[in-house]
Structure 1
Amino acid sequence: MSMLASPTTRPPASGRGPLTDWRPEDPEFWVTTGTHVARRNLYVSILAEHVGFSVWSLWSVMVLFLGPEYGIDPAGKFLLTAVPAALGAVLRLPYTLAVARFGGRNWTVVSALLLLVPALPMALLIKPGVSYATLMVLACLTGVGGGNFASSMANINLFFPERLKGRALGLNAGCGNLGVPAVQLVGLAVLATAGAAYPRLVPAVYLPLIALAALAAARWLDNMPGSRNEPGALRAAARQPHTWAMSLLYVGTFGSFIGFGFAFGQILQLQFHDRFPTSVDAAWLTFLGPLIGSLIRPLGGQLADRLGGARVTFWNFIAMAAGAGLVLYAARDRSFPLYLVGFLALFVFSGIGNGSTYKMIPAIFRARAAREAALTGDRETADRRARRLSGALIGIAGAVGASGGVLVNVAFRQSFLVAGNADLAYLAFIGWYALCFALTWAVYLRPSRRTLPGV
């Protein structure tokens, strides 16, 4: 986005006032002023998003504290990890729009403070005797952390020139995703030191971090005046078949990552209770999967740059189906080493798929813009339309994709209710990944339909 103002006007050094001059595509401006301001906003945004992801993922840890004295069966625990994913998915689109409506700095402060809504009552209320209804309300409220990713990405996208957006957004997303293993390490520390009798300490640890994120946003972030929502872009994107194709693929990648991140600790205890009789035993491994999946995400983008996003995504879903098949075999054979390898592979490939599918979205509309420009001769208009639709598709796909976290936990819940084990859930995952690689082939790779070169 370009904003016209006097070249001598400099953005505030501390983020206390609105930007009045912002020209990231101007090389001289970028070197003398833009780099410093953009990086400052990026670092604070990463902090706020990281804390948001941690709060969103709190119940992946909290369920490990809910022993027999709470009277909750496995199906009830999976429901507690499903509802945060549901609210987080619903909030992603309005959070994206809120940045342009209220300003990036203002909304980041508000969205950070909203994390206190679940964290503070959790630190006060969770103890034996608390009703299941109360736990469900508290679990649902942590979904506010899921919206922070969308608003953070929308805000940082405004600060960087086109040539640097991929790296900046990748850092923002990857460091934010690390909030999932981070909160699980906090839970492990509490379990190992204070014991399972003190679940309230986990959200209590985040109370000062939430305050820090809000204060840092108020002190060092900037509002970008002149940014505006384009409801027409959302409507136009919603009419594009590619929007829904990519949303389904993102359900398979990001949905798997967040869903498995929420469920992994419970699954370890339920499938191998003899090996993990206590919550502490399971917590030692719970954080590994989300950590690997977060760190590997940039590799998916890099592979997509070299080999093509559709090709990487296609083979990645085949690998995810194979990983789910290995997990199913290991669960039936009671082989914990194979089970762990299979599940960690699912995290690895969900991370790679996050990167490759995200790279496909702008590539789709760049290819469409090139085709449109060849017909009309107006490349500038075609590129502008491509950017509008790309941004809208990312918002829609992010919201739909996060619902995969709900589906994963509901699948585990129903599988344990019907069969007493997770085998039916693994079969459902294999079927979904097969649908995803078939969709990728049919829409983006099949020679007779290959109308979008470079995707």
Structure 2
Amino acid sequence: MAQGVWRGRNTWIRRWDPEDDAFWEREGERTARRNLAFSVLSEHIGFSVWTLWSVMVLFMGPEYGIDPAGKFFLVSMATLVGAVARVPYTFAVARFGGRNWTVVAAALLLLPTVAAFLVMEPGTSYTTFLVCALLTGVGGGNFASSMTNINAFFPLRKKGWALGLNAGGGNIGVPVVQLVALAVIGAGGGPRLLLGIYIPLVVVATVCAALFMDNIASVRNDTGAAKEAVRDPHTWIMAFLYVGTFGSFIGYSFAFGLVLQTQFGRTPLEAAQLTFVGPLLGSLVRPVGGRLADRYGGARITLGNFVAMAAATGVVVLASVRESLTLFTGAFVVLFVLSGLGNGSTYKMIPGIFQAKAVRRGLDGEAALRYGRRLSGAAMGLIGAVGALGGLGINLAFRQSFQGTGAGTAAYLSFLGFYALCFAVTWAVYLRGPAPQSTVAAATSTGREPSYAEV
């Protein structure tokens, strides 16, 4: 049992037991909430920097000499690096400590912001812009390390709330950077003004993490769990579904403003006035998806969500063919909201699936809970990384569609087909067969094999 928070050098907490109610009420909750607050700050700035080029391209007029295909490629490369960075960032917390790695991760955000500040002007080579866009990918990794770190601070009964707040606070960094860009464009400012706003914020996040966050000494990498998660087919099935939800959210966040400019001829100011609405609503609604999944089952909510996403995409196709900006914008905002709901419901499925697997293996009680936590924790980093690659696919599809036909209709049709495939996979793996008669918890107590439909 923990006897209290004891910090050695470098703010390492040697003893940490949030499941001990007395410890939690005495000092654990206060420490956990403080670390959560500054984790949200760092992750929020990280998301803003990751999606920086979704608004930078709005500033790049004809004098930059870059066509729409080239701009879509810039934002897709930022998406790619952000997705790949999530894998090492997931394990960096246990290797270096949560506080230490947050300081490093926040400081790394200076690389893309300062680099872009120095070169952002007409006449700079496309390769230089591409390198700057690639560097912003480090901001995408912050999500994985932040979630892993905060997961260790909170007791099981409070993890859902803490992780939801952490994820939502980070995701809102996307519409915030777009709102700041709107203000800059509206004031007649240029891209360097936007960067000049964010560079000091990166410094603030770095200093706050150094001064106010902690490392937990008991957190250690579990390479066995990681290897087991890689071999488990459910890890990759859920990664595929997360491509459809979070991949859509981040991909559309990068591309929406550029699509408005390219397909509908909006000016940078007109595009910026619309770009932030969808990501903002999608970020705010993410906890609602988790809450609905808690009540009705994540698989059911996810299945219905993919039906709705396909329907909204069908409206986007119709609006694209008719060249109706009003219908197009409305349907796209609905897509953002649905992607946010799906983010919550799919992420909620992960621990339930692995606990259900534990019960199927004959484990029960605390043993089943430990197995579920161990495998789901390792799987989440991989699922988050693969899911973010969906954003790369979306931007490459837009690039190819606009390059080949001058419109995005072909890309929208491919998204429609993908959501239909996600629907089929969700139904076939998690919902096919007779309606379940018990939840995972009930199955544990009665000995019946649990259904994945309840996860």
For Structure 1 versus Structure 2, the TM-score category normalised by the shorter chain is over 0.9
1:76 matched to 2:58? The reply is: no
**1:56 CA displacement:** 0.2
1:193 matched to 2:179? The reply is: no
Q: Distance in 2 between matches of 1:254 and 1:214?
A: 27
Q: Which residue of 1 aligns with 2:105?
A: 111
Counterparts of 1:353-372 in structure 2, within 5 Å, are: 353-372=342-361
Q: Which residue of 1 aligns with 2:398?
A: 412
Q: Which residue of 1 aligns with 2:122?
A: 128
Q: Distance in 2 between matches of 1:453 and 1:291?
A: 30
Q: Distance in 2 between matches of 1:316 and 1:139?
A: 32
Q: Distance in 2 between matches of 1:331 and 1:159?
A: 47
1:181–1:290 contact (8 Å) kept in structure 2? yes
Q: Which residue of 2 aligns with 1:392?
A: 378
**1:444 CA displacement:** 0.2
Q: Which residue of 1 aligns with 2:441?
A: none
- Post-superposition Cα deviations, 1:415-451, rounded to whole Å, max 9, x if no partner, equal 0111111011000000010000100000000016974
Q: Distance in 1 between matches of 2:379 and 2:331?
A: 32
Q: Which residue of 1 aligns with 2:261?
A: 269
Q: Distance in 2 between matches of 1:358 and 1:125?
A: 39
Q: Which residue of 2 aligns with 1:18?
A: 12
2:91–2:145 contact (8 Å) kept in structure 1? yes
Q: Which residue of 1 aligns with 2:224?
A: 232
Amino acid at match of 1:339: F
Please report the RMSD computed on the Cα atoms of aligned residues, expressed in angstroms: 1.5
TM-score by length of 2: 0.94
1:92–1:146 contact (8 Å) kept in structure 2? yes
Amino acid at match of 1:312: I
1:335 matched to 2:324? The reply is: yes
- Post-superposition Cα deviations, 1:15-73, rounded to whole Å, max 9, x if no partner, equal 96211221100111111111100000000000000000000010000000000000100
Counterparts of 1:310-325 in structure 2, within 5 Å, are: 310-325=299-314
Q: Which residue of 2 aligns with 1:143?
A: 137
Amino acid at match of 1:412: F
Amino acid at match of 1:217: A
2:93–2:148 contact (8 Å) kept in structure 1? yes
1:442–1:449 contact (8 Å) kept in structure 2? no
Q: 3-state SS of the aligned residue for 1:315?
A: helix
1:24–1:159 contact (8 Å) kept in structure 2? yes
**1:386 CA displacement:** 1.6
Q: Which residue of 2 aligns with 1:252?
A: 244
Counterparts of 1:206-225 in structure 2, within 5 Å, are: 206-225=198-217
1:113–1:211 contact (8 Å) kept in structure 2? yes
Q: Distance in 1 between matches of 2:407 and 2:107?
A: 39
1:444 matched to 2:435? The reply is: no
2:83–2:140 contact (8 Å) kept in structure 1? yes
Counterparts of 1:363-382 in structure 2, within 5 Å, are: 363-372=352-361, 375=362, 379-382=365-368
Q: Distance in 2 between matches of 1:70 and 1:77?
A: 11
Q: Distance in 1 between matches of 2:216 and 2:172?
A: 27
2:352–2:372 contact (8 Å) kept in structure 1? no
**1:12 CA displacement:** 5.4
**1:170 CA displacement:** 0.1
1:443–1:449 contact (8 Å) kept in structure 2? no
Range that drifts further, 199-208 or 411-420: 199-208
Amino acid at match of 2:395: N
Amino acid at match of 2:343: N
Q: Distance in 2 between matches of 1:226 and 1:340?
A: 49
Amino acid at match of 1:401: G
Range that drifts further, 58-67 or 387-396: 387-396
Amino acid at match of 1:285: L
Aligned with residue 174 of structure 1, among 159, 168, 172: 168
Q: Distance in 2 between matches of 1:168 and 1:79?
A: 35
1:70–1:129 contact (8 Å) kept in structure 2? yes
Q: Which residue of 2 aligns with 1:352?
A: 341
Q: Distance in 2 between matches of 1:312 and 1:36?
A: 34
Aligned with residue 284 of structure 1, among 273, 276, 289: 273
**1:192 CA displacement:** 0.9
Range that drifts further, 441-450 or 71-80: 441-450
Q: Distance in 2 between matches of 1:428 and 1:404?
A: 13
Unaligned runs of 5+ in 1: none
2:299–2:453 contact (8 Å) kept in structure 1? no
Change (3 A) 1:453 1:69: closer
Q: Distance in 2 between matches of 1:449 and 1:395?
A: 31
**1:381 CA displacement:** 3.1
Q: Distance in 2 between matches of 1:226 and 1:16?
A: 15
Number of corresponding residues: 441
1:123–1:202 contact (8 Å) kept in structure 2? no
**1:296 CA displacement:** 0.7
**1:76 CA displacement:** 0.3
Amino acid at match of 1:395: G
Q: 3-state SS of the aligned residue for 2:216?
A: coil
Range that drifts further, 106-115 or 17-26: 17-26
**1:178 CA displacement:** 0.4
2:93–2:145 contact (8 Å) kept in structure 1? yes
1:454 matched to 2:454? The reply is: yes
Give the fraction of aligned pairs with identical amino acids, expressed as a percent: 59
Unaligned runs of 5+ in 2: 437-450
Amino acid at match of 2:399: R
**1:189 CA displacement:** 1.2
Change (3 A) 1:449 1:415: farther
